[in-house]
Amino acid sequence: MVHPLKEEEMKEHETVSHKPEAKYSYTAGQALSAFLLGLKQGKIIGRKCPKCGRVYVPPRMYCEDCFYPTSQWIEVQDEGIVMTAVASFISWTRDRLEEPEIVGTIRLFPSSARDYVYPGLFHRICCSFDDVKTMRILGKMVKAKWRPQEKRVGSVDDIECFEVI
Ligand SMILES: [Zn+2]
Protein backbone atom coordinates (compact mmCIF):
# COMPACT_ATOMS: atom_id res chain seq x y z
CA MET A 1 0.00 0.00 0.00
CA VAL A 2 1.28 3.44 -0.92
CA HIS A 3 0.93 6.38 1.45
CA PRO A 4 2.47 9.87 1.49
CA LEU A 5 5.31 10.51 3.96
CA LYS A 6 4.28 12.15 7.22
CA GLU A 7 6.08 15.24 8.51
CA GLU A 8 7.96 13.21 11.21
CA GLU A 9 8.98 10.60 8.63
CA MET A 10 10.48 13.37 6.50
CA LYS A 11 12.75 14.33 9.45
CA GLU A 12 14.21 10.81 9.55
CA HIS A 13 15.83 11.37 6.19
CA GLU A 14 18.40 13.82 5.06
CA THR A 15 16.83 16.46 2.85
CA VAL A 16 18.35 19.09 0.65
CA SER A 17 16.76 22.48 0.01
CA HIS A 18 17.92 24.34 -3.03
CA LYS A 19 16.45 27.27 -4.91
CA PRO A 20 17.90 27.29 -8.42
CA GLU A 21 18.89 30.60 -9.97
CA ALA A 22 17.27 29.64 -13.24
CA LYS A 23 16.57 32.41 -15.71
CA TYR A 24 14.49 31.93 -18.82
CA SER A 25 14.19 33.90 -21.98
CA TYR A 26 10.97 33.33 -23.86
CA THR A 27 10.07 34.53 -27.33
CA ALA A 28 6.55 35.89 -27.34
CA GLY A 29 6.04 35.10 -31.03
CA GLN A 30 4.33 37.12 -33.75
CA ALA A 31 0.86 37.44 -32.22
CA LEU A 32 1.81 38.05 -28.59
CA SER A 33 4.62 40.46 -29.54
CA ALA A 34 2.14 42.72 -31.33
CA PHE A 35 -0.26 42.38 -28.38
CA LEU A 36 2.43 43.45 -25.87
CA LEU A 37 3.56 46.38 -28.04
CA GLY A 38 -0.10 47.44 -28.22
CA LEU A 39 -0.34 47.43 -24.42
CA LYS A 40 2.66 49.75 -24.26
CA GLN A 41 0.67 52.18 -26.40
CA GLY A 42 -2.42 51.76 -24.22
CA LYS A 43 -4.26 49.62 -26.76
CA ILE A 44 -5.67 46.12 -26.48
CA ILE A 45 -5.45 44.40 -29.84
CA GLY A 46 -6.59 41.02 -31.08
CA ARG A 47 -6.71 38.99 -34.29
CA LYS A 48 -9.89 38.44 -36.26
CA CYS A 49 -10.88 35.22 -37.99
CA PRO A 50 -12.18 36.03 -41.50
CA LYS A 51 -14.45 32.98 -41.49
CA CYS A 52 -16.36 33.16 -38.17
CA GLY A 53 -15.60 36.76 -37.16
CA ARG A 54 -14.19 35.90 -33.74
CA VAL A 55 -11.60 38.31 -32.40
CA TYR A 56 -8.98 36.58 -30.28
CA VAL A 57 -7.63 38.53 -27.31
CA PRO A 58 -4.88 37.67 -26.58
CA PRO A 59 -4.33 37.26 -30.33
CA ARG A 60 -3.92 33.93 -32.07
CA MET A 61 -2.58 33.38 -35.57
CA TYR A 62 -5.12 30.58 -36.14
CA CYS A 63 -8.79 30.33 -35.23
CA GLU A 64 -9.27 27.56 -32.69
CA ASP A 65 -12.76 26.93 -34.00
CA CYS A 66 -12.39 27.01 -37.81
CA PHE A 67 -8.63 26.24 -37.97
CA TYR A 68 -8.50 29.19 -40.38
CA PRO A 69 -5.56 31.63 -40.24
CA THR A 70 -6.65 34.86 -38.55
CA SER A 71 -6.09 37.76 -40.92
CA GLN A 72 -6.68 41.13 -39.33
CA TRP A 73 -5.47 43.10 -36.33
CA ILE A 74 -8.40 44.62 -34.44
CA GLU A 75 -8.29 47.02 -31.51
CA VAL A 76 -10.91 46.18 -28.89
CA GLN A 77 -12.20 48.29 -26.02
CA ASP A 78 -10.43 48.31 -22.66
CA GLU A 79 -13.79 47.63 -21.05
CA GLY A 80 -15.67 44.39 -20.64
CA ILE A 81 -17.66 42.05 -18.43
CA VAL A 82 -16.29 39.86 -15.62
CA MET A 83 -16.99 36.25 -16.63
CA THR A 84 -15.03 34.43 -13.90
CA ALA A 85 -13.29 35.53 -10.71
CA VAL A 86 -11.26 33.74 -8.10
CA ALA A 87 -9.46 34.82 -4.92
CA SER A 88 -5.93 33.44 -4.89
CA PHE A 89 -4.01 33.13 -1.62
CA ILE A 90 -0.91 32.01 -3.51
CA SER A 91 1.22 34.55 -5.36
CA TRP A 92 2.65 34.12 -8.88
CA THR A 93 5.88 33.05 -7.17
CA ARG A 94 3.98 30.46 -5.05
CA ASP A 95 4.27 32.41 -1.79
CA ARG A 96 1.35 32.42 0.64
CA LEU A 97 -0.60 35.69 0.63
CA GLU A 98 -2.40 37.15 3.66
CA GLU A 99 -4.62 39.24 1.40
CA PRO A 100 -5.84 37.39 -1.67
CA GLU A 101 -5.18 38.57 -5.17
CA ILE A 102 -8.34 38.58 -7.25
CA VAL A 103 -7.96 37.31 -10.79
CA GLY A 104 -10.44 36.36 -13.44
CA THR A 105 -11.53 36.39 -17.05
CA ILE A 106 -12.82 39.57 -18.63
CA ARG A 107 -14.71 39.40 -21.91
CA LEU A 108 -13.75 42.64 -23.59
CA PHE A 109 -16.18 44.64 -25.69
CA PRO A 110 -15.50 44.79 -29.41
CA SER A 111 -14.92 48.12 -31.12
CA SER A 112 -17.53 47.19 -33.72
CA ALA A 113 -20.93 45.63 -33.05
CA ARG A 114 -20.21 43.10 -35.83
CA ASP A 115 -17.30 41.55 -33.92
CA TYR A 116 -17.33 38.99 -31.16
CA VAL A 117 -14.36 38.97 -28.81
CA TYR A 118 -13.23 35.54 -27.76
CA PRO A 119 -12.25 33.99 -25.32
CA GLY A 120 -11.49 36.73 -22.75
CA LEU A 121 -8.50 38.19 -21.06
CA PHE A 122 -7.22 36.69 -17.80
CA HIS A 123 -6.11 39.48 -15.48
CA ARG A 124 -6.26 41.00 -11.99
CA ILE A 125 -9.58 42.49 -10.89
CA CYS A 126 -9.53 45.36 -8.36
CA CYS A 127 -12.28 44.19 -6.02
CA SER A 128 -12.63 42.74 -2.55
CA PHE A 129 -12.54 39.11 -1.44
CA ASP A 130 -16.15 39.63 -0.36
CA ASP A 131 -17.11 40.62 -3.94
CA VAL A 132 -15.82 37.20 -5.03
CA LYS A 133 -17.30 35.17 -2.14
CA THR A 134 -20.75 36.64 -2.75
CA MET A 135 -20.19 36.40 -6.54
CA ARG A 136 -21.24 40.06 -6.78
CA ILE A 137 -18.34 40.72 -9.11
CA LEU A 138 -19.61 38.31 -11.80
CA GLY A 139 -21.23 40.12 -14.71
CA LYS A 140 -19.94 43.53 -13.58
CA MET A 141 -18.66 46.00 -16.16
CA VAL A 142 -14.97 46.74 -15.70
CA LYS A 143 -12.38 48.98 -17.31
CA ALA A 144 -8.60 48.63 -17.52
CA LYS A 145 -6.62 50.69 -15.01
CA TRP A 146 -3.53 51.55 -17.08
CA ARG A 147 -0.12 52.35 -15.67
CA PRO A 148 1.08 55.85 -16.54
CA GLN A 149 2.36 55.88 -20.15
CA GLU A 150 6.01 56.51 -19.16
CA LYS A 151 5.95 53.40 -16.94
CA ARG A 152 4.59 50.99 -19.54
CA VAL A 153 7.06 48.43 -20.82
CA GLY A 154 5.06 46.20 -23.16
CA SER A 155 3.85 43.73 -20.53
CA VAL A 156 0.49 42.49 -19.25
CA ASP A 157 1.39 44.49 -16.11
CA ASP A 158 0.94 47.69 -18.17
CA ILE A 159 -2.63 47.18 -17.02
CA GLU A 160 -2.59 47.20 -13.22
CA CYS A 161 -6.01 45.61 -12.98
CA PHE A 162 -9.60 45.93 -14.17
CA GLU A 163 -11.82 48.20 -12.07
CA VAL A 164 -15.59 48.15 -11.77
CA ILE A 165 -17.20 51.11 -13.56
ZN1 LIG B 1 -12.99 31.18 -36.97
pLDDT digits (tens, 9 = 90+) for 131-152: 999 999 999 999 999 999 999 9
pTM over 0.75? The answer is yes
Distance from residue 102's CA to the centre of ligand 1 (Å): 31
pLDDT tens, position by position, 10-62: 778 787 888 888 888 878 888 899 999 999 999 999 999 999 989 999 899 99
Report domain extents, the chain.
Answer: 27-164
Query: Ligand 1 centre and the CA of 68: distance in Å?
Result: 6
What are the residues whose beta carbon lies below 5 Å from ligand 1 (ion)?
49, 51-52, 63, 65-66
78 and 142 in contact (C-beta within 8 Å)? Answer: no
* Contact in structure between 107 and 116 (CB atoms under 8 Å): no
Distance 67 CA to ligand 1 centre (A): 7
The answer to whether the CB of 57 falls within 8 A of the CB of 117 is yes
User: 69: which strand partners?
Assistant: 62
